[in-house]
Structure 1
Amino acid sequence: MNAVTETVDLQAPPPIPLVFTDSAAAKVKDLLAEEGNPELKLRVFVQGGGCSGFQYGFTFDETVNEDDTVLDKEGVQLLVDPMSFQYLVGAEIDYKEDLEGAQFVIRNPNASTTCGCGSSFSV
């Protein structure tokens, strides 16, 4: 009698990379056109603070650091430093306009709690 053996890999799947939506890229493209500096890129970062322990931040930056993660979408570059990236793996960076206003939104599956303002979280 022949036995059939099947090997199953029980390692966790690789983390889902950061998602930069079409609407976020389009808005950044508009903002960059207003600035008139084609060298600017959008940097998203995580820093200590806010009512939940960490908070998100956005800034324009001309410099791409050696250890930055760079996402290209529709001619726009999104930069994330390594410390921030570990908190943002699997997150989605979006731009929404609704009755409450217009804003960049980060949907982060790593956040165990979020603040009502949407810019603060804890893990």
Structure 2
Amino acid sequence: MDMALHDALKALMPVNPLHFTAAAAAKVHELVSEEGEEDLKLRAYIHGGGCSGFQYGFEFDEGRNENDIAIVKDGATLLVDPLSLQYLAGAVVDYVESLTGAQFVIRNPNAKTTCGCGSSG
């Protein structure tokens, strides 16, 4: 994506195109501290597959790509690439603990259908 297009898209985006919850930020901060790698950031992304045609993914990343959107909350950073952001705008990135386990989750108002697998949107 060229910089002019990137700048135009960024100008159209709300200040925080995703909601990064305090619970998610706290867990990121905890995991980063445990690793002792202060440069680690949580990356949320979408890739093909899953019951609905795409799946959500999370990974820790040391680097920030030129076009990434960074959302900082309570000292923790969430990165999203522009392609994934098209599908995630308005979503909530959270960390939940339940009887079945604990995980980062995305609640996406843009998802037309959802399923029980937990990784599709």
What's the TM-score bracket when you normalise by the shorter of the two chains? 0.7 to 0.9
> What is the percentage of aligned positions where both structures have the same residue?
66
Unaligned runs of 5+ in 1: 1-13
TM-score (norm 1): 0.83
Query: What is the number of equivalent residue pairs in this alignment?
Result: 108
Q: Shift in Å at residue 115 of structure 1?
A: 2.0
In structure 2, how many angstroms separate the alpha carbons of the residues matched to 1:99 and 1:75? 28
Between structures 1 and 2, the one with greater helix share: 2
In structure 2, how many angstroms separate the alpha carbons of the residues matched to 1:63 and 1:95? 22
TM-score (norm 2): 0.84
Matched, 1:84 2:78: no
In structure 1, how many angstroms separate the alpha carbons of the residues matched to 2:60 and 2:49? 20
Runs of 4+ aligned structure 1 residues displaced above 3 Å come to none
In structure 2, how many angstroms separate the alpha carbons of the residues matched to 1:101 and 1:57? 17
Q: Shift in Å at residue 120 of structure 1?
A: 0.7
Unaligned runs of 5+ in 2: 1-12
In structure 2, how many angstroms separate the alpha carbons of the residues matched to 1:103 and 1:62? 20
What SS does the corresponding residue of 1:78 show, helix, strand or coil?
strand
In structure 2, how many angstroms separate the alpha carbons of the residues matched to 1:112 and 1:81? 21
Matched, 1:59 2:35: no
- Tell which structure's C-alpha radius of gyration is larger: 1
Matched, 1:109 2:121: no
